[in-house]
């Protein structure tokens, strides 16, 4: 999966935070829902314009950011 086609950053949208496909829902929003215990299915039901691929792209984006943080610290 290529999250770069799903995760977009636009300075005028949500203060430049990473969003999903140019929409106003951020990677942080999706990760917060997952962290609070929501399942993929619950998120998809609450936000029918999202796809499972969108959720996986958020997880991939977060994992890549964490990896980059670890590389910088070592």
pLDDT in tens, 10-57: 999 999 999 999 999 999 999 999 999 999 999 999 999 999 999 999
Reduce the DSSP state of residue 64 to 3 states and report it: helix
Structure tokens, 46: 């609450």
Q: What is the pLDDT of residue 38?
A: 98
Q: What is the pLDDT of residue 3?
A: 66
pLDDT in tens, 57-67: 999 999 998 88
Give how far Cα 70 sits from Cα of 7, 36, 53, 56, 65, Å. 21, 25, 26, 21, 9
Domain-by-domain residue ranges, the chain? 3-73
Phi, psi of 22 (to 5 degrees): 75, 5
CATH 1.10.10.10 fits 3-73, yes or no: yes
Angle at 22 between CA 6 and CA 56, to 5 degrees: 30
- Provide the pLDDT confidence category of residue 68 given band limits of 50, 70 and 90: confident
């Amino acid at each position: 999966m290529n999250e770069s086609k799903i995760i977009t950053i636009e300075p005028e949208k949500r203060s430049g935070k990473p969003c999903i496909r140019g929409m106003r829902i951020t990677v942080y929003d999706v990760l917060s829902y997952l962290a609070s215990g929501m399942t993929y299915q619950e998120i998809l039901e609450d936000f029918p314009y999202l796809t499972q691929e969108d959720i996986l792209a958020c997880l991939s984006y977060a994992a890549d950011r964490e990896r980059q943080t670890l590389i910088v610290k070592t």
